[in-house]
Amino acid sequence: MPIRPILEYPHIALRQKAKKVRKIDRSTLVLADDLIDTLYDAGGVGLAANQIGVLRRVIAIQLPEEEPRVYVNPEITYREGERDVEEGCLSVPGYHAIVTRAILIKAKGLDRQSKLVRLRAEGLLAQVLEHEIDHLNGILYLDHLESHQDLIPNQTSSVEVEGIGV
């Protein structure tokens, strides 16, 4: 599948609400595969369809050492607690910030076979689900900051330790 260009802030598609997928057909499955391949190539953990210019409610998640997942029409049905986490975005390269996310979420969506999936998530999975579902609603992690001055430039380093710049 082709690797698609990832749109960067302030591209207008990142601010638009994605449309619900009425039927998981071949075009939806191709989109899902493209999201996974693009996410893998970019080295991220989550990607929403609007980040590649497609206004459909589809996300891909690739947590470390797990198989990639795709959710169609995902939505968060419950949030519990708050925690501050470091977050970045493939559509806002070069920066990260501390944002407030839920400790626990419950979410639902469809898998590739149109089967309803219910999730109870904590930690990184909860954070990624909140982040990517925000994207589908035209919300960027920047919107959770009091000021864009809260953005922290990423450090670049020529030394790599287990894939993490130090």
Which sequence positions are flagged as catalytic? 132
CA distance 113 to 118: 14
Task: Look up residue 123 and give its DSSP letter.
Answer: H
| 57-78 burial: b if 16+ Cβ within 10 Å, else e | bbbbbbeeeeebbbbbbbebee
CA distance 11 to 53: 9
